[in-house]
Amino acid sequence: MDTEAVRARLLKRREELQTRASRASADLRHESDPLSADFAEQVTQRESDDVLGAISESAQHELRLVKAALRRLEEGRYTTCAACGEPIEEERLHAVPYTDRCRTCAEAMRPPRGSPPPRKG
Task: Output the pTM of the full model.
Answer: 0.72
Round to whole Å and give the CA distance between 66 and 51.
Answer: 22
Confidence label for 33 from pLDDT (cuts 50, 70 and 90): low
pLDDT single digits (tens) 39-93: 676 667 677 767 777 888 888 999 999 999 999 999 999 999 999 999 999 999 9
Eight-state DSSP code of residue 30 = T
Percent of all residues in the chain with a pLDDT value above 70, rounded to a whole number: 77
Mean pLDDT estimate for the chain:
84
Is residue 56 within 8 A of residue 29, CB to CB? The reply is: no
Alpha helices in the chain (DSSP H): 3-28, 39-75, 90-95, 103-109
Could you tell me the residue ranges of all domains in the chain? 1-77, 79-110
Query: Quick one: pLDDT at residue 23?
Result: 83
pLDDT of 121 > 60? The answer is no
Round to whole Å and give the CA distance between 69 and 73.
Answer: 6
Q: Which of 78, 80, 83 is nearest to 105 (CA)?
A: 83
